């Protein structure tokens, strides 16, 4: 019988490592011997005389590529074996061909519905068995090849997306740092404000007023856009931008134009792009309206309340807090406690009340961000 024992086998035969492994399951030793003699010249063959034994072999180290499974067996029939194979993640992808003396159409339909790939009736015809096995193995290999190709393509897409996002982030930082070369005392301001905006947005993401807009994706885009909030300062003359004392009214009017200049520059970049860029829309909002106030007394457009975009409201709070705790040519740094009191006093006036509450509730996190990105030589506040 071509060397196939009729008792259970748990290991493939020697010398067949490059062959596909098949598992033949039948409670009749004579049927196992016949199938073994037919299949062994072409495949590594394992055998089991019960459903329980078949399940153990299928989940073992020598997992078969295909199972020829008898339907009519005592204790556990082929239908139950197949159901349990499909329920186990370790065996659910093994191809199964039913072997049975049942010839009713409903029996075949039941097997196919449970996930069998094919159905061979007994008595078996050797040519048919070999052809069906070969066909199903070819299908399995093709399916696995496609799966591998899809996995490769998904990994490549993910790699390129990560690369593009890195380039985008670096470009944003470069532009922001370029703007800050005009105003060198701001130092790590863009990193701190970016951190505050992200932390505050995460804290507010489940708030009824903000849940719809502060999705995970939008929070990521907000944080990416935040460094461009003061890009318009590139257009402000040095004499005003770096003036050590208080600005004259006409100088202050010019300083305020940085919000409009920034948003217009980003809008021009949008027009130059071949397709919409999500983060630019948020960057434009932040640049133009991060100096608006909840009570309508801000600039450049005097927006009030919810008319101010959420992105700009977040940045307003982050920007003011960082300005308070940072030294400038015209003022010393405030302590964290002093800054917290000013932010609290601005609730409902300068800042969105709910955002203010969230900021104060997470104040220790903002302190940690400020400490992490403290400018070189700056003393703790």
DSSP 326: S
Is residue 166 assigned to a domain? no
In tens, the pLDDT along 193-210 reads: 999 999 999 999 999 999
Predicted confidence at residue 274, as pLDDT, reads 74
Q: Which of the listed ranges 6-20, 193-207, 222-236 does the model predict with the highest average pLDDT?
A: 193-207
Predicted confidence at residue 331, as pLDDT, reads 82
Contact 302, 165 (CB under 8 A): no
Is residue 243 assigned to a domain? yes
Domain at 140, CATH number = 3.40.50.2300
Q: Among residues 105, 136, 151, which one ends one of the domains?
A: 151
Predicted confidence at residue 10, as pLDDT, reads 37
**103-107, 234-238, 325-329, 370-374: the lowest-pLDDT one:** 103-107
Is residue 325 assigned to a domain? yes
Is residue 172 assigned to a domain? no
- Same domain? For 127 and 56 the reply is yes
- Same domain? For 135 and 197 the reply is no
For 7, 221, 287, 363, the CA distances from 282, given in Å and listed in that order, are 70, 7, 9, 25
The mean pLDDT value for 362-370 works out to: 97
Structure tokens at 50: 């019960």
Q: Residue 288 above 60 pLDDT?
A: yes
**Per-residue buried b or exposed e for 295-313, using 16+ beta carbons within 10 Å of the residue's own CB:** eeebbbeebeeeebbbbbb
Predicted confidence at residue 12, as pLDDT, reads 38
Is residue 337 assigned to a domain? yes
Is residue 298 assigned to a domain? yes
- Same domain? For 215 and 265 the reply is yes
- Same domain? For 85 and 141 the reply is yes
Spatial CB neighbours of 347, under 8 Å, sequence gap ≥ 6: 353, 356, 357
* Count of domains for the chain: 2
* Rounded distance between C-alpha atoms, residue 247 and residue 132, angstroms: 87
In tens, the pLDDT along 22-77 reads: 999 999 999 999 999 999 999 999 999 999 999 999 998 888 999 999 998 988 99
pTM above 0.85, yes or no: no
Side-chain-side CA neighbours of 89 within 13 Å: the count stands at: 0
| Domain extent at residue 230 | 181-372
Q: Among residues 151, 173, 203, which one ends one of the domains?
A: 151
Predicted confidence at residue 183, as pLDDT, reads 61
Predicted confidence at residue 378, as pLDDT, reads 56
């Amino acid at each position: 019988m071509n060397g196939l024992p009729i008792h259970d086998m748990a290991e493939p035969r020697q010398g067949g490592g490059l062959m596909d492994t098949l598992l033949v399951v039948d409670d009749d030793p004579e049927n196992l011997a016949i199938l073994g003699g037919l299949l062994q010249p072409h495949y590594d063959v394992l055998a089991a005389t019960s459903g329980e034994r078949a399940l153990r072999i299928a989940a073992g180290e020598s997992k078969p590529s295909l199972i020829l499974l008898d339907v009519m067996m005592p204790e556990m029939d082929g239908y139950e074996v197949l159901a349990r194979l499909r329920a186990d993640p370790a065996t659910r992808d093994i191809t199964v061909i039913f072997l049975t003396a049942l010839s009713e159409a409903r029996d075949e339909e039941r097997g196919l519905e449970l996930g069998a790939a094919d159905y061979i009736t007994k008595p078996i015809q050797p040519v048919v068995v070999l052809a069906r096995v070969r066909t199903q193995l070819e299908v399995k290999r093709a399916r696995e090849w496609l799966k591998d190709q899809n996995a490769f393509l998904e990994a490549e897409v993910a790699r390129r997306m990560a690369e593009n996002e890195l380039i985008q982030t670096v470009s944003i930082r470069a532009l922001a740092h370029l703007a800050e070369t005009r105003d060198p005392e701001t130092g790590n301001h863009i990193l701190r404000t970016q951190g505050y905006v992200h932390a505050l947005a995460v804290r507010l993401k489940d708030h009824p007023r903000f849940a719809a807009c502060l999705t995970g994706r939008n929070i990521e885009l907000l944080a990416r856009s935040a460094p461009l909030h003061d890009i318009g300062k590139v257009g402000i003359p040095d004499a005003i931008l770096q003036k050590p004392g208080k600005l004259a009214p006409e100088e202050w009017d010019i300083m305020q134009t940085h919000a409009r200049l920034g948003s217009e520059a980003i809008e021009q970049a949008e027009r130059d792009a071949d397709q919409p860029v999500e983060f630019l829309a948020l960057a434009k909002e932040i640049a133009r309206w991060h100096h608006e106030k909840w009570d309508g007394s801000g600039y450049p457009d005097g927006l009030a309340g919810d008319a101010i975009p959420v992105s700009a409201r977040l940045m307003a709070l982050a920007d003011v807090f960082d300005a308070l705790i940072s030294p400038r040519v015209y003022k010393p740094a405030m302590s964290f406690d002093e800054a917290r009191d000013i932010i609290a006093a601005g609730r409902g006036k300068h800042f969105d009340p709910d955002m203010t509450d969230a900021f104060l509730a997470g104040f220790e996190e903002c302190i940690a961000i400020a400490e992490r990105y403290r400018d070189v030589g700056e003393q703790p506040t």
